[in-house]
Amino acid sequence: MNGMTNGVFLDDKRFWPIFGRAQVLDVPLYMHPAIPHPAVIEAYCKDYVEKHPGILRAGWGFTVETATQGIRLVLSGVFDAHPPLKIIIGHLGEGLPFYLWRISHSYAAATAANLSETPFASTFMSPPAGSFPIRLCCAA
């Protein structure tokens, strides 16, 4: 899976049969990073795209797009409808694992949404492909 399809987010119910099939086959789906939605590019990146095109890709855009898709999937209820569905988000989960505490506590304080760390930890797999955590650890 890769970002949006024809401008439609992955949490759209039209895609739920794909998630259901993956559940039945007991196979994980890999969510590959993609360039952010044009409105996000317009609002946050347009001033820098020409000089720094990497902002739309691995430099930052892939992280914003893929992490947002992951949160949307949890909020949509697709994992409640298709347990134990598994999604692989490469590149250390595009940062989501590092924000789980903040995400879960922010949503718990503001809504009844179940965004505890457990759905993320039991649903998403976060291999380090394309990321070099040794540098991060050494910088601390």
User: What local confidence, expressed as pLDDT, does residue 127 receive?
Assistant: 67
Give DSSP secondary structure letters for the chain: -BS-BTTB-TTSGGGHHHHHHHHHHT--EEEB--PPPHHHIIIIITTTTTT-GGGGTTTTHHHHHHHHHHHHHHHHTHHHHSTT--EEEHHHHTTHHHHHHHHHHHHHHH-S----HHHHHHHEE---TT--HHHHHHH-
pLDDT digits (tens, 9 = 90+) for 48-90: 999 999 999 988 998 899 989 988 988 898 988 998 899 988 8
